[in-house]
Amino acid sequence: MVRCEYRSSFLAVPRIPHSTFHITHSTFMKTPDALILPEAWKKGDTQLDRIDSILAIAEPLLNVDRSQGERAYIRRQPGGRLFVTPDPLDTLQFPVGDSREGKPRYNWVARPDGSEHGFLVEDARHA
Amino acid sequence: MAATKLQANWTAVSLGTNSITRVTQVSFSQGGSLASYSADGDHYPTVVVNLMNKPRASVTSSDTATLMGIAPGTTAAFSATHKDAKGATGGDILYVMANAVAENVETSGAHAQFGSATMQLLAYSSDGTTNPLSFTRA
């Protein structure tokens, strides 16, 4: 078993104090449901180039199949971070009014390269 | 044909199930604003910071009936595709604004001119954290 510190995104997502999260090797084999990427990873002189440079990283990781009409959607977040998911309606936290309001919808796993991989928490797909 | 990396004209413009055609103008705004701080004997702000963003969009169409049929307060995802200037595959940019709320629609027409209507939209974030404006390559 690989022990890895679990932390929420350092955007506006509340940090869970001193909590740790045991992640099995199979966790790393799973396809993430969301990504947080540094905005500095954008490359290119045109808007399309910069979008493409992020999609080239994100879509394979998210297992997006463009031939099936799927896309990865990019949102600029404060702090120079990009929140990328296959659904433009995805959110970082449970919505206002939900019983889990304000809590993260993803378990975030920090990667050595500065990105984070998000895995939907239980029942988050229906929120 | 390779993408021109230039965008021209809009297609697939919709607010929820309302398809909007005859589009002559679409705009998306990140809606950023700045707050400045000063105190005591300051004559200039000592801190300027972006504390709040209110993403907005607007669309102008000659299909005035469709736009005027949308009531203020209507809430849905607003999406629009900015096409590649030469129609090249992979050159289109798709914008999606989640939780877009129709603020107002105005219509006008001058003598001997085609009429048009413009709708303004303001988006909210369902969790207060996630940017409702997203984009991808179409």
Indicate the pLDDT class of residue A3, thresholds 50, 70 and 90: very low
Per DSSP, the residues of chain B read ----S-EEEEEEEEETTEEE-SEEEEEEE--EEEEEE--TT-SS-SEEEEEEE--EEEEEES-HHHHHTSPTT-EEEEEEEEEETT--TT--EEEEEEEEEEEEEEEE--TTS--EEEEEEEE--SSSSS-SEEEEE-
Across the range A103-112, mean pLDDT stands at 96
Average pLDDT, chain A: 83
Q: How many domains does chain A have?
A: 1
pLDDT of A20 over the 50 cut: no
* Range of the structural domain that residue A55 is part of: 2-126
Residue A1 C-alpha, separation from nearest chain B C-alpha, in angstroms: 33
Do residue A96 and residue B77 have CB atoms under 8 angstroms apart? no
Note whether A71 contacts B: Cβ–Cβ < 8 A: yes
Residue A57 C-alpha, separation from nearest chain B C-alpha, in angstroms: 13
Considering A3-12, A22-31, B54-63, the range whose residues carry the highest mean pLDDT is B54-63
pLDDT of A22 over the 90 cut: no
Do residue A92 and residue B3 have CB atoms under 8 angstroms apart? no
Q: Is B5:A49 a contact under the CB 8 Å cutoff?
A: yes
Q: Each residue of A34-48: pLDDT tens digit?
A: 999 999 999 999 999
- Nearest CB neighbour to A93, from listed B53, B98, B127: B127
pLDDT of A88 over the 60 cut: yes
In this predicted structure, what is the pLDDT of residue A126?
Answer: 54
Q: Fill in the DSSP letter of residue A116.
A: E
In chain B, where are the structural domains located? 7-28+57-137
Size of interface A-B (CB pairs under 8 A): 78
Q: Each residue of A94-103: pLDDT tens digit?
A: 999 999 999 9
Q: Each residue of B12-27: pLDDT tens digit?
A: 999 999 999 999 999 9
* Contact residues of B toward A, CB < 8 A: 3, 5, 7, 30, 50, 53, 77, 79, 91, 93-94, 96, 98, 125-138
Please identify every stretch of chain B with a pLDDT value under 50, giving residue numbers as ranges: none
Residue A69 C-alpha, separation from nearest chain B C-alpha, in angstroms: 9
Residue A34 C-alpha, separation from nearest chain B C-alpha, in angstroms: 13
**Which residue on chain A is closest to B50 by alpha carbon?**
A78
Do residue A91 and residue B96 have CB atoms under 8 angstroms apart? no
pLDDT of A23 over the 70 cut: no
In this predicted structure, what is the pLDDT of residue A127?
Answer: 54
